[in-house]
Structure formats: structure tokens, C-alpha cells
Chain A
Amino acid sequence: MAVVSIREVVKEYRAQDAPVRALDGVSLEVEAGEFVSLVGRSGCGKTTLLNLAGAMDFPTAGRVVIDGEDTARLDDAALTALRRRKVGFVFQFFQLLPTLTAAENVELPLQLAGESDVRARALERLRLVEMESYADRFPHQLSGGQMQRVAIARSIVHGPKLLLADEPIGNLDSTSAEVVMQLLRRVADELGAAILMATHSLEAAKITDTLVRLRDGRIEERRRLGAAAERVPLG
């Protein structure tokens, strides 16, 4: 069963004059361990699709099913609960809370879910992204790439089945971007998370399993890239 299943989704925004159709009949499924890249030019609907996939927003028509749960049937509290257990987000501008240290940022999703004894798990995730030694630093003491690695640790700290990444390397230099992409790959492979990533970079998309090209709110192309076995092993 797919971790997230998007079926015939339409999303319209009410703009001042005419409604804007951001998504127009999009269907998409992402399996556990599958890494899907979403490409297309700015304004084609990538962010909108990610928001729907993460149950942050509702479609105008169509359905979004996350791990078997139809989001249309859930109220705000249930959606929050769903996100807490199953969804992680990574943003273009990292969005680390400036007042918290790296470790505290990573702990945050667990604490918001009301869990205690969270430090060990946070450190474990920081180790995974190789940021353990920066645990007590504040975001402004980190480079962009380091911040994004901490953000990734934060997005997976609660072991989500679905990871949504919106332009995660859009704000990084190429070296940092490479590191972040490798990390995401590992998250899919080792943790078995389904990843849906919006990106501008076709270069980055090469590391993913499936490439979906959006254009004006429709899927223009859907292509399976090489099998997992053929990929370069992580260094």
C-alpha cells in the first residue's frame, strides 16, 4: 500500500478576480522507501501539492490518503495527530527556531507530541546527519548546509512514514546540496520513508527513484529513474 496516495486532486485558490487553479487533476502515489522528485518551473503547483500531501491543506476536489487515512474525514485535531506520527517537513529556508539549539530544534516534534526523554533520540538523529558535535549550537552559529542537515534530523526524529521536502537545496551551494541529497537518499533507503521532494534542480532529481514533472497544475511527465541497486553507494 502506498504511504501517500493523491487521487484526482484539484486545488483552487480564490484570488481577487478569477480563481487560480494551482492543481488540476493530479494523481500520484508514493511507496515506502520511494524517493520522488517533483520538478517544474516556479508557480506550477509543487508547494501546493506538498501541502496537500502533508494534510496541511485540503483539496478543492479529489482525495488525499495518508497511510490509509482519508484526510477529508479528519478534523483539525486528528490531522495534527496524523502529522505528529507520520509526516515530516523540510523547508527551503530551513526554518529552525532561532531561539533553540540544534538539539532542541530536533527534539521539538517529539515534545510537541507530548513525549518525554527525547534527548537521546534527538542526538541519534543528529548523529545520522553527522551534526552530533553541533548539538548545542544555535542556528545562527551554523552554515546553511549544516542548518538543513539539522532540519532533516528534525523532520525524521519521530520516524515519519512520509517526508515532504520543499526545495531543500534551493538555498544551498552545490557542495552542501550534494550532502543534503545523499542524506535524503539514506533516509529513504535506511528508514524506509516515502519522500516527496520539490526541486528546481534536474541534477538533484537524478538521485531519486521517480521524477514527476508538473506544468500548470498538471502532471506532464512521470518517469522511473534507475533501480535502487544501480545507484552509487553512499560514501
Chain B
Amino acid sequence: MSRWRVFYRLLGRPLLHDPVRTGLTVLAVALGVAVVVAIDLAGEASAGSFRSSMETLTGQADLEVTAVGGFDERLLGDLVRLPHNLAFSPRVEGFARVMETGATVPVFGLDLVGDATLERAQAGGAESTFDFEGMDLETAVWAGEAVAAEPGRTLRLQINDRVLEYRVAGVLRGEGFQGVSVRDVVILDIAAAQRALGKLGRLDRVQVYEPEDESADWPAVLRAALPEGAEVVPIGSAAEENRKMLGAFRWNLRVLSYLSLIVGAFLIYNTIAVSVVRRRPEIGVLRALGATRGDVRLAFLAEAAVLGAAGTVVGLALGRILANGAVELMSLTVQTLYVTSAPGRIVITPARLLTAAVAGVGVALLSAWLPAKEAAAVAPTEAMARGRRDFEAGRGVGRRLAWGGLLALLAALASLAPPVGSIPVFGYLAAVLLLAASALAARWFVRTASGLGTRLAFRLFGIEGFLGSRSVAAALGRTAVLVGALSTATAMLVSIGVMVGSFRETVLVWMDRQLRADLFLRPAGDPATDRYATMDAALADAIEALPEVAAVDRFRAYPIRYDGMPANLGAGDARLHGERAGIRFLEGGDARQILSCLPTGPYVVVSEPFARKHDVWTGDHIRLPLGGREVDLENLGVFYDYTSERGAVIIDRKVLMQYLPDPAVSSLAVYLEPGADAEAVRDEIVARNPGRELYIATNGRLRTEAIAIFDRTFAITWALEAVAVTVAVLGMAGALLALVIDRKREIAVLRFLGASAGQIRKLILTESGLLGLLSITLGTALGTALSLVLIYVINKQSFGWTIQFHWPVGLLLAALTGVYLASVAAGLYPARLAARLNPIEAAHEE
């Protein structure tokens, strides 16, 4: 016990004497942990534990029957007549916009009168019963408590492009219905829902309850009774599919969230290494007094563990707070790109706590390993050694560089490997290897660059610049670590910047070619990939009849499930599209030729993400269940598409109508006669269609909004980057502080030799600026390499998009300037401290 007291006095106590630096290190770790925790929590809340809103009412059923575009309600009769004790719950689904709040909520049409399973399911909450005695079922709604607070009120809902008025017959509270939250759903009687959603005589889904007293292969039994196109799947498989679909997205964010932790690792390494350097004599004393190497190593690992644990505790709290913001940003992306869902609650589970602790303490221990080993190697004789030794920095520069080269080579190889599942494991590996390679090359880089830059620094910044650049080179062991940390953060900033910038530019160019129509129409409300609101076909005919209108492309979208993953099936006027729009094919030949071929038979074209995800290329056949038939379709080509990551299969409208004769449209692209005024035509359409809730955008507006959505979905990425840079800058401040403290004597001597306080300040600021500059240079080089991995490996494998490389010059300049200024700012406090140092106390020391 007393031995540990000695250890504490000699090694632990100094931590407390240096509260600013210790605090900065803890804060850096805390931020790293916080980001990991926040993304983990938010990921689970906004995308993981989520059920898409459509599944809110899946309840305790066992199986469900679905089909693309729904099926005829007479099918239910066939099922009910099966000689088994199965129970069925038919439903119609869609989305409604609550006019009062603007919120989009799922609408369910349930058979309130005939469905026996509903009573079974309602047992829980008395308030959530469907007491429809004396109600007009045509206008009655049961609404979740977030939608309507009390019964009896009028509720105006926009369903498809119409606004309808309902009376709230009951309020659904809490988890009162089938054991799931119904806070923001709307339930109608099935007949009313069919009418409102334009699905007369049709069902979207039948949920099946298996009998308890009978066992059989129920899916097979059902399939035998169903036509070809209908699918029987276990309840919850949609959630599983959504989870799978979101997998890549969440993985990318998770990996990105580890970034701050990596940067934090550099800083712990630096902190512990500085401790070792400063306390060499004390270590020598301990060794002379009989401490073993193991004891010494343990002592420094303990120091790291303490820093890591403190960082973890603070980081957990901070992460819980950050998670709120992260959920918002993430669910925004999830909603726009993937699926309509209400974010779940943020839950901190023991497993998450453990993850955080492992992240914080584990990273601390790992990064302290080398310095602790160095400490253990201190010989007892060093108790008597004079002066301070800095890191053994000069040694091993070449060896490290060689290792770095080898890792870079391995990274290149890893980037050639295919994904595992849809996760680009080897892409991540390549990125990590590149980071490691650059960290290993940092010493060589700092030494070479500051050597070459000394003269330049002298010319630019005078003697302070000269001295600064010399000491950057002299304290190589430390400065290289700092440059490693900041350049890692910078590299990620650059690579994400280049990737997003390239992506954005690619989308802009693509929109330029693709979006040629003058007006675009769809039902009003937030756009989302999984909402399939429709407008009736008469609207399209009316618009086409306007004299200013040259042509109207009618587009209809259906959700489909392909190969266990959600996707979109779209039908448009292929010939018109070929003539008017600038669709571009990655594969399959000339666009116009392909598109003119589409209407002639069971042909489709697929989008690039679909092709990559499902390995469907030109000439391949896909089978889709359409209108009660399993249809074989030949793929004529693969086109570039950046609208949906789900992937799309496009078929000609006339061909699709043969299988699914519903003429309603999801969106319209309107081409005007030359010289017609788009704004005027838009106003005319609005004026001629009172009572229709339409979103009509001119070409320019649609593009602007598309790009705004694009930018919004990357907000969280930037937020993560900002934290990583903050961590690096905090660490830099801490490390510069240590550097100042350890160079007190030198600074004092300079004062004796005639340096003013201002010159000392300038010296430290020049040093921090120089470190910033070196980091930016190395970071930009590394970042460019990483951006190639991101664009050509990780992104392509995760999402299936071809992105054209593009330098977002302005963005990068702004970001790098920011990093530079931040690094100079990190020197402000240490510089002030150095300038205020009392020289007479330090100059006479040995």
C-alpha cells in the first residue's frame, strides 16, 4: 500500500499540479467518447430500434400477406374460407398530412366492424377502443394523442392531393393498441380509408394470426391459397429489411464517430509521453528504490486509465446531451433518404455504458502503451542523470517511414477488395491503414518540412519564426504527435469535403441533364422515399389539355421488395422520357434506343444503386410479383440515378398498366411549348384545381430544393468533423502548454538576451501556426488519398453511387483556413503564459 503512495506522490500528484493541461486532455477524451456515445444512441433511436411508421400497427400477428400495388379485397374471402382456425386483419395504408400542424402521419384503414382480431388486440387500454356505436364510419377517425388531443374535434387531413374533414371519434393513447405506440397515427374504417387513399376494392396488407391449437407450415398453406404475386412474410421482416437497408448508413456514421476518438488517442499518447519525459529522474529514483519495470509501466498505464475514465464519465454525460441533436439530424437523413419513421426514445443500456467505457479507457490504455514501455525502460541510474532528455526522436525516423510506406501499400491493396455483405469492410481497413501510414510518416515529414522551412520562416516571421521552426524540429517526438493528431482531423475534413463536394457536383450535373421538364407536380407534403401518395389521372389529362403544355410525363411509383430489400418500382412514359429528358446510362448503350424499346414488352431499366446492390446488369432478368402474377422482366440497361439509395426499377407506364391498372399518378413532369411562361402555367394549374393540395415546382425551384435536401443530409457529417477538429485543437493547446512549461528555461534565457515579452508571445504563436501549417499540408495529402477511398470504394460499396471526382476548392479553402486559425488560437493561452513567465527564476537553473 505504502509503495503505491510513493508512486502516487512521485507520478500521480503532478497531474493535479497541472490542472489546465490535465483538464484539456480529459476534455479531449470526453469529446471523443461523447461523439461515439451520441452517434450510437442516436443511431439506435433514429434508425435502429425504430419501426417504420408503417409498422406501428403490426401488433402480435404472426405473418402478413402483401403484394406490389396491393391486391383485390376479394382475396380476403378466399383466405377466410380456408379450413383452419386462422384469423385475419386486413388493412389499407397511406400517409396523411395533418393540416393544423403540417406533420405527416401514417393512416391505417382497419375493418372496424368485421375484424375480430381488433378486440383481441385492444385488451390493454380502455381509452383506445373503437367504440363506433352511432358513429358515421365514413368520417370517423381515431387519432393518436399527438395528432388530436380530445374526441369530438374536427380533424382536417390531406390524403393524397385532397383535404378531407373527419371527426375525432376517439384518442389513442400511449401503448394502448396492440402493445405499440400509437402516438401519431390515424385510424379510419377500412372503407373510408380505401376511398380516401384511392384504393377502392383493394387491400395493402393482411395480417395473419396463427391458431394456437393447430400447427402447420402456415406460410405454405397461405401461399397455396394466394395468387402468384402475393407474398407471405413473417411480421417484422420489413423492420429487418429496413435495418439492413440502413446498415451501411449507420456504419458510415459510426466509423466517422470513432474519428474524434482516434484524434483523442494521439493526445493521450502525447500527454503520457510528456509525463514520462518530465519524470525520468523520479522514475529512476523509484527504480533505485526497488520498483520493477512492471510497476513503472503499470503506474503510467494507471495514469492513462484515470484520464480515460474521467474522460469517459464526462463524455457519457456530454454524449447523452449531444444525442438529442444527433437524433434530429440523423432522423432527418433517415426520413429523406430511407423511410418515414418516428425516432424512438434514447435509451442508455448497460451495453452502451460498457461500449463507452471500453472506448474511453481502452483507447487511453492503448495509446499509453508505448510511452509506458519507454518509462519502464528507464534505468535506475537516471535518478542521477542531469538535465532532461526529450523523446528519442531522431531515432527510427527512417524505419517508421518505411513502415508507413508498407501500410500505404497494404491500403492500396485493401481498397481493391469487394465489400462484405453491403459493408465496405476493406474500404474502412484501407482508410485506417492510410491513417496509420501517415501517423508513421509524420516524424519524417515534420523533420524534413521544418528543416526546409526554417529559412522561409526566418524571412517571413523573423527570428521568432526561425527559433520556432527550430524547436518544432527539436521537439520532434512531441510535435510529430501533434501534427499527427491535427492532420488526421484535417484529413478527414478534407476527404469528407472532397467526397461531399464531388457528390454534390455530380448530382448537380446529373440534375442538369435529367431534370429537363419545366414543371414538376406531386401531392403536397414533405417528400420522402417511402411515401407513395397519388393524384388522380384526370389531373394529368387536364394539364395536358392546356395550350401551353407540350407534353406530360406521368410517373407512378410503388414500393417493392426485391431480394429481401426495399426498392422502388417506377413507371413513366419511356418514349417521352427518351425524347425529352437527359437520362444517362452507365451500361446498356444509347439512352434513346433503350427507352424506345421499353414500351415494347416486359422490359425494365434499373438504377445504378439497384444494379450494384442486387447485381443486376444489362441482359439480366428479374422477377417481380405484379397484380397477382409473377412477371419476368428483362433489364435493358443501368442508368445513373441519385434520387434514392433504395434503388429503382423503371418500367414503361403502359406495360405496367397491363399488370396494375390503377391510373393514378405519383408525380408529373410537364414540358411546356417553347416560349411559355412556367410561373404563369403553374398559377393556372393551381387556379384550375381548387381543393387539390399540390406541390408544383418550376425546374429551378426543384433543383434548389433538391440541393438543399442534399446539404441537410450531410449536416451531421460536418458536425462530427467539427468535433474532431475541436478535439485536435484542444489537444494542441494542452501540448503547447506542456511545451512552454518544459521550455521555461530557454524562454527565460531569451528574455535575458533581449527578447521582449511580445517576441516570446510571437515565438509561441509562430510555433503553433507552423504546427497548424504542417498539419494542414500533411492532412491535405492524406485527405486526398482518403477521399479516393471514400468515393471509389466506401461510398460505392455502401450506396452504389458513381461519383465524379471534383475539388470543392472554395469549401476546402474555407475549411483549411478555419483549421489554421484554430491552431493559431490554440497557441494563444500558452503564448500568454510564456510571455508572462518570470525569467529570473528559470535562467539560473541547470
Q: Which residues of A contact B (CB under 8 A)?
A: 47, 51, 54, 56-57, 76-77, 80, 83-84, 89, 91-93, 95, 97-100, 108-109, 111-114, 154, 158, 166
Contacts and interface: CB of A to CB of B under 8 A. Distances in A.
B474 A98 contact: yes
Interface in B744-799: 745-746, 749-757, 759
Contacts of B839: 56
B749 A95 contact: yes
A89 B753 contact: yes
A40 B467 CA distance: 37
A84 B749 contact: no
Interface string B442-471: 000000000000000000001100110011
B754 A80 contact: yes
B745 A95 contact: yes
B550 interface: no
A77 B752 contact: no
B755 A89 contact: no
Contact of A154 (B467, B473, B753, B840): B753
A99 B749 CA distance: 13
Contacts of A91: 749, 752, 843-844
Given A56-B839, A99-B471, A113 B845 contact: no
B845 A112 contact: no
B683 interface: no
Contacts of A77: 756
Contacts of B471: 99
B846 interface: yes
A112 B753 contact: yes
A91 B748 CA distance: 12
Interface string B808-839: 00000000000000000000000000000001
22 contacts: A56-B751, A80-B754, A89-B752, A91-B844, A93-B844, A93-B845, A95-B745, A95-B843, A97-B470, A97-B749, A97-B750, A98-B474, A99-B470, A99-B471, A108-B753, A109-B753, A109-B754, A111-B463, A112-B463, A112-B753, A112-B755, A114-B462
Chain B's interface size range is 20 to 34
A50 B38 CA distance: 59
B756 A76 contact: yes
A99 B450 CA distance: 13
Contacts of A80: 754-757
A51 B840 contact: yes
Contacts of A154: 753
B729 to A, nearest CB: 25
Contacts of B467: 97, 99-100
Contacts of B751: 56
Contacts of B846: 93
Nearest to A56: B840
A98 B393 CA distance: 15
Contacts of B752: 54, 56, 83, 89, 91, 95
Q: Secondary structure at chain B's binding surface: helix, strand, loop or mixed?
A: helix
B832 to A, nearest CB: 15
Contacts of B845: 93
A111 B750 CA distance: 11
Interface string B699-711: 0000000000000
Nearest to A105: B753
Contact of A112 (B745, B754, B840, B843): B754
Interface hub of B757, B844, B846 (most chain A Cβ within 10 A): B844
A151 to B, nearest CB: 10
Interface hub of B467, B749, B839 (most chain A Cβ within 10 A): B749
Contact of B473 (A89, A99, A109, A112): A99
Given A56-B751, A100-B470, 5 more contacts: A47-B844, A91-B752, A95-B752, A99-B467, A111-B466
A51 B841 CA distance: 10
B491 to A, nearest CB: 29
Nearest to A93: B846
B505 to A, nearest CB: 46
B385 to A, nearest CB: 14
A58 to B, nearest CB: 11
A184 to B, nearest CB: 17
B622 to A, nearest CB: 69
Nearest to A51: B840
Contacts of B466: 111
Closest 5 pairs between A and B when the two form their complex, measured CB to CB: A84-B754, A111-B463, A99-B474, A99-B470, A80-B756
Nearest to B390: A98
B463 A108 contact: yes
A97 B466 CA distance: 13
Contacts of A51: 840
Interface in B700-749: 745-746, 749
B754 A97 contact: no
B739 to A, nearest CB: 13
A95 B751 CA distance: 12
Contacts of B470: 97, 99-100
Contacts of B462: 111, 114
Contacts of B750: 97, 108, 112
B753 A166 contact: no
B763 to A, nearest CB: 10
A77 B463 CA distance: 18
Contacts of B755: 80, 112
A91 to B, nearest CB: 6
Nearest to B757: A76
A162 to B, nearest CB: 13
A91 B751 CA distance: 13
A80 B750 CA distance: 11
A84 B754 CA distance: 5
Contacts of A99: 467, 470-471, 473-474
Contacts of A89: 752-753, 843
A56 B750 CA distance: 12
